[in-house]
Amino acid sequence: MNKKVQFQDLGLRDYKEIWDYQETLFQQTVDIKIKNRREAGDIPTPNHFLFVEHPHVFTLGKSGDKDNLLVDEKVLAEKGAQFYKINRGGDITYHGPGQIVGYPILDLDNFFTDIHKYLRLLEEMVILTLAEYGVKATRSEGETGVWLDVGTPFARKICAMGVRASRWVTMHGFALNVNADLGYFDLMIPCGIKDKAVTSLNVELGQKEVDPEEVKQKLLRHFEMLFKAELIKEKTEV
């Protein structure tokens, strides 16, 4: 099993551009798996982990309800935001500057074949990272992602998650609010969940800005530990 993960930090990039890039990496891995099965081969399948920051964009998962976007295309254009219906699970979410978005494109045959475990470990990676800032985060039963003050009137989401998997190969991932403009979340019902707020790490810490590079390094360290993986930094190719 190949536990090496090729890592790229792509910086600020257009959503559709990186969605297409994910699809390319995803399909390359799936094609290797199909070839191995047909020819009884043993070509190792690659694993990838992308960090990216997107310009303002709303994305709707395949099971989502577009009514959870509360504004029309004209308002989106005025806000400088785009909209895409995409092929991950989950409902509607927002990406924008100040978020760390992570896209693991992993062949889970290299790790474990359990999607629920995969999601729980991604959540744990974020929970452990936030704990290093003194922020106590948890899961909310039946609601994927990472939350604060679950079970109280002040429950709020700090990290959204939505993935796609086929032949045990994953794509899409998580969006952690680090220095996010929370005003954009008012334009939707986040993840289709009413009456629950959204927050950002800088808000929780009472800081104008949290160093995103420091947060990224903590996330990567916890990812390696939880997945027993070895990250290999790759030159950005996109």
Q: Give all domains of the chain, ordered by start, each with its CATH number.
A: 53-101+112-227 (3.30.930.10)
pLDDT tens track for 53-112 = 999 998 888 777 788 888 888 888 898 999 988 888 777 889 999 999 999 999 999 999
Ligand-binding annotation for 93, yes or no, is yes
In this structure, are residues 1 and 46 in contact, taking their beta carbons and an 8 Å threshold?
no
List the single range of 60-69, 188-197, 202-211, 222-231 with lowest mean pLDDT.
188-197
In which element (H, E) is residue 130 found? Answer: helix 115-131
Q: Given the residues 127, 148, 191, 198, select the one marked as catalytic.
A: 191
Nearest-angstrom CA–CA distance, 126 and 44: 29
Nearest-angstrom CA–CA distance, 32 and 205: 45
Ligand-binding annotation for 114, yes or no, is no
Which 3 state secondary structure label does DSSP give 105? strand
Tokens in use for 59? 């994305």
Would residue 191 show up in a list of annotated catalytic residues for this protein? yes
Choice between 7 and 74, residue whose per-residue pLDDT is larger: 7
Ligand-binding annotation for 161, yes or no, is yes
Nearest-angstrom CA–CA distance, 192 and 57: 16
Residue with tokens 């295309």: 73
The residues that bridge with 92 in the sheet, in sequence order, are: 60
Return the percentage of the chain with pLDDT > 70, whole number. 96
pLDDT tens track for 126-175 = 999 999 999 999 999 888 899 999 999 999 999 999 899 999 999 999 99
Q: Looking at residue 25, what is its pLDDT?
A: 97
